[in-house]
Structure 1
Amino acid sequence: MSIQKDSREAEKRHRQPMLVRGISFLVIILLSIIVFGSAFLGNSFAASISPSQPTDLTASPGDKSVQLSWQPASDVTAYKIQTTDLATGTVSTSDLQAATNTFTVKSLAVGHWYRFQIIPLNGSTTGLPSSYIDVRTKGFSGSYSSYIALGDSYSSGEGAPPYTDATCARSNNSYAYQIGNGVPSPTMIACSRATTDNIDKTAQRSAGTQLQQLKSSSGLNNSIITISIGGGDIGFAPELTKCIVSDCTSEQSALSQKIADLKSRLIQVYEEIRETAPAADIFVVAYPLLVAAPDQAVCHNAITKSGLSTSEMTMMRTLATQLHTVVQEATLFGDAYFVDGVNTFQGHEACTKDQSAEWINEVTNSDIDGSFHPNQLGYAAYAKAVNASRNGLYTDGQIRLPNSTSTPCSTSTLTPTPTPTPTPTSTPTPTSTPTPTSSPTPTSTLTPTPTPCPTSILTPTSTPCLTSTPTPGLTPTPSSTSTPTPTPTPSSTSTPTPGLTPTLTPNPTSTCTPCSTATPTPGSSLTPTPGINAYNFSYGVDANDQTYLHPWFQPCGWSADYIILHYVIPGHAPENVYTNYSGDSNRWGFDMHRMHSGQILKYSFTYSYDHRQYDTTWYTWTQP
């Protein structure tokens, strides 16, 4: 009995360690499952989190490439770049890219439109793609498949008979037939008296609206489109008739409001054209000032001479300046390319002293509807201006952002002093088929789209008062054929050059004084003398958010005839624009939208007093 008991106790002692070891083993297995399972589940859960949407997609066009950059998204392990050929609709996606915020798409066609989107990934989980951006690569393929001319009488060729279609006043002397250099003969859809409604709502003829005719045109995937529109909306023809037969100056306020209200409608039309032909190069042709400056005008037609008073001519130029600005701003928002009408006809308006230098008709008795329209020389000048804008597009490429759903700010009523026009001494005959050069300097526009109207403007705490050197007798014709230096130059024909590092030149003889009490620089008088500092002014940039800014110029103790703003935003084409005058602040300014935080603006001004013109130095603004 004693032996059996000892044996059982020994067996019991042997089983206890084994049981402990077994339990420990099970505990280790359970802990391993918990630890490694949690990690696995954690990784699986993290990989299932949807990445955020990339924002602020921007682009820089190259000859056969496009550099993209964007704000990094969260919860992202990689990106894919989606590229859509807007001519063919072909969609391609790049290989998986590391979680960076820049990428260069290569091996693209020259002078071609593409659409890009950034697709974020977190493992195998795909997030919402970025908003798209359309980019035209630099260069020109050599020819277009088709050319469609849209718009009103300023595109149909009215004023330069004979007419191939009398109803629409279509003439082979129109600029559309003189562009050449890779541009085929146009499909002429433009028609006299067309308004914006004739583009997309109401047909003038049985063929349908101009937009319907555009949609049925062939070759839109490699096309050029031009359009002039808006003059008919404000009653161009009947209002001029009023001015000839009676005093029309009482109409100025109402006409100015019509022009201001036109902007959003123009944007809509330009965007509809872009949506119809996303792979086309689209050019908006602006109107001239129509008549020469009243103090220099000499009308040669008896009806014109007796029918237009000095005050009426002043009104016509003021309203034409406003219309030109509205068309230009709408072009920026509508993502088309701008063709300057004011500078094209500067010194060659109706009633220019030298009749042989007139590029715009006075009253024409034999073709009354052709009054105050370009003649053959005028349309040849328009063709040259279109080609200059083509050069700008080919040199810089173009960027288009998605259409905005916000309501664009309407243009305020303008009351600038009309641009003076010096008497021409000779008649430069414009080339009928200008040739784009291989390395032109552009005079084109930026490509933003509308953003919500700003509700307030932050005013800089101080701005330096500057002076510049006058040059007598120049005309406001900022040109695409010369390059400025970073210091003031006595010429209005300079165009900003990207990459310039401007320096500020403060007035050495005075401190910054509020313009309400400022006086001209000592040593000068109200009659500019070449070679001395002539006038004080203040300048600055107002901004109320990351997308809007307003460069401005304020004369100190004197009144300007006009102010031209020259500006460059890296990655966009240089631009020259007439600024808007505000009597409340005594400032001239220009609204710009769709800016990005950190974006750099380089800008300068050309200003005029007493028919003399001055250029400032270049300044730099960084968008907050």
Structure 2
Amino acid sequence: MKRRILAALAALALGITTALGASSAATAAEPTGAPYVAIGDSEAAGTGNMPYVDETCKRSKKAYPVLLGDDLGTSVVSAACAGANTTQVAGQASALAGMGQLGPATQLVTITAGINDIQWQTVLALCSGAGTPAACEAAKAAAVAAIPGIAPAIAQLVGLVRTLAPNAYIVVTGYPLLFGQVTGTCTVGASGGAPVKLTAELTAEVNAGIVGINAAISSGVGLYQQAYADLFGAPDPKVEYVDVTAGFAGHGLCDTGDRWISGVSAGKGTVDRGFHANAAGQQAWASIIQVALAG
């Protein structure tokens, strides 16, 4: 693992150096890039909040990047897509750069990625009645084993975005905890005409997993900053990790406050909502980032 991280950081450093050299030549020409670009997975896409502007990626008009753009007084170019892992999110950035939508003129990039690297939805599906106890335990073990790989992936992703958008402020977000404090069982919706109930043990394990994912994402930003500082003598002042867990506190599934996370529903047009931030949660996400930017 250590050799892999060192190799990734070496490649990252080379990429930054090459891009910064190229960007000085690019300033002579008209800069390209939308002012605000969003990349990421289903949470950045606002999946589950109809209507969609992109049915394939389940990208919503109510997604936090759209709301944040409204708050900041600018439109957003978003390539966020449901199910995307960090490798696919890197592909989003490269594709946008190829279309001239991510570049030297871009002032802000938001990134939400990492949770799909561990197949988290498989864990929830297999451990909520759809699978055997053995399948549930195997899925949980595989997810936990995959968490350490998130950090170097995030470091490389941030480095790629920096090379493509040398002037942008880059915000990397974590994820909210799905569940509140559960003492018995938590009913999170219905499927097949029957309620879906999760045990207190499982909800605690899922929350702990998200804490681990957030820590890995934050560590990935730290790895990028280490590489940047090695090159330029100080961390990149335009890269920030934003933790959203405190902002969502009290609003998870089975919490006493208004739910900002959607439960399970098998109905047409609602099946995508399960375990994603709802409209209120997307607004909260945008507000949390806006406060971080103001700070």
Does residue 235 of structure 1 match 2:119? yes
Partner of 2:271: 368
Runs of 4 or more off by more than 6 Å in structure 1? 83-88
Deviation of 1:257 (Å): 1.4
Paired residue for 1:350, among 253, 271, 280? 253
Matches within 5 A, 1:72-91: none
Partner of 2:180: 292
Paired residue for 1:195, among 73, 76, 85? 85
Matches within 5 A, 1:413-492: none
Partner of 2:289: 386
Cα distance per residue 1:575-612 (max 9 Å; x no partner): xxxxxxxxxxxxxxxxxxxxxxxxxxxxxxxxxxxxxx
| Distance in 2 of aligned mates of 1:241 and 1:283 | 30
- Normalization by structure 1: what TM-score? 0.37
Paired residue for 2:100, among 207, 211, 217? 217
| Distance in 1 of aligned mates of 2:90 and 2:81 | 14
Partner of 2:110: 226
Partner of 2:229: none
Matches within 5 A, 1:389-400: 389-392=292-295
| Distance in 2 of aligned mates of 1:312 and 1:298 | 10
Structure 1 residues 352, 90: closer, same or farther in 2, change over 3 A? same
SS of residue matched to 2:245: coil
| Distance in 2 of aligned mates of 1:86 and 1:381 | 35
Partner of 1:157: 46
One-letter code of the match for 1:213? L
Partner of 1:271: 159
Rg larger for: 1
One-letter code of the match for 1:185? S
Structure 1 residues 297, 337: closer, same or farther in 2, change over 3 A? farther
Partner of 2:260: 359
Structure 1 residues 361, 270: closer, same or farther in 2, change over 3 A? same
| Distance in 2 of aligned mates of 1:172 and 1:226 | 16
Partner of 2:149: 261
Matches within 5 A, 1:311-322: 311-322=201-212
Contact in 1 for aligned 2:185/2:200 (Cα 8 Å) = no
Cα distance per residue 1:140-178 (max 9 Å; x no partner): xxxx95211101111011021121211101101001111
Partner of 1:326: 216
Structure 1 residues 370, 214: closer, same or farther in 2, change over 3 A? farther
| Distance in 1 of aligned mates of 2:199 and 2:100 | 46
Deviation of 1:215 (Å): 4.0
Structure 1 residues 274, 350: closer, same or farther in 2, change over 3 A? same
| Distance in 2 of aligned mates of 1:158 and 1:217 | 26
Which structure dedicates a bigger proportion of its chain to strand?
Answer: 1
- Structure 2 gaps of 5+ residues are 1-19, 226-238
Paired residue for 1:169, among 30, 33, 58? 58
Deviation of 1:258 (Å): 0.3
| Distance in 2 of aligned mates of 1:213 and 1:340 | 26
Structure 1 residues 87, 312: closer, same or farther in 2, change over 3 A? farther
Cα distance per residue 1:225-270 (max 9 Å; x no partner): 1111111111122222112224424533321110112211111111
Matches within 5 A, 1:120-159: 146-159=35-48
| Distance in 1 of aligned mates of 2:87 and 2:144 | 20
Partner of 2:228: none
| Distance in 2 of aligned mates of 1:88 and 1:187 | 25
RMSD of the TM alignment (CA)?
A: 2.8
Contact in 2 for aligned 1:86/1:221 (Cα 8 Å) = no
Contact in 2 for aligned 1:87/1:279 (Cα 8 Å) = no
SS of residue matched to 1:299: strand
| Distance in 2 of aligned mates of 1:358 and 1:275 | 39
Deviation of 1:378 (Å): 0.1
Contact in 2 for aligned 1:297/1:352 (Cα 8 Å) = no
Cα distance per residue 1:459-484 (max 9 Å; x no partner): xxxxxxxxxxxxxxxxxxxxxxxxxx
SS of residue matched to 2:265: coil
One-letter code of the match for 1:334? Y
Deviation of 1:332 (Å): 2.6
Paired residues in the alignment total: 249
Percent identity (aligned): 25
Contact in 2 for aligned 1:157/1:173 (Cα 8 Å) = yes
SS of residue matched to 1:269: helix
Deviation of 1:84 (Å): 9.1
Matches within 5 A, 1:50-89: none
One-letter code of the match for 1:387? Q
Matches within 5 A, 1:507-522: none
Deviation of 1:301 (Å): 2.3
| Distance in 2 of aligned mates of 1:147 and 1:383 | 13
- Greater RCO, CA 8 A, separation 6+: 2
| Distance in 1 of aligned mates of 2:27 and 2:49 | 44
- Structure 1 gaps of 5+ residues are 1-82, 92-143, 202-208, 393-624
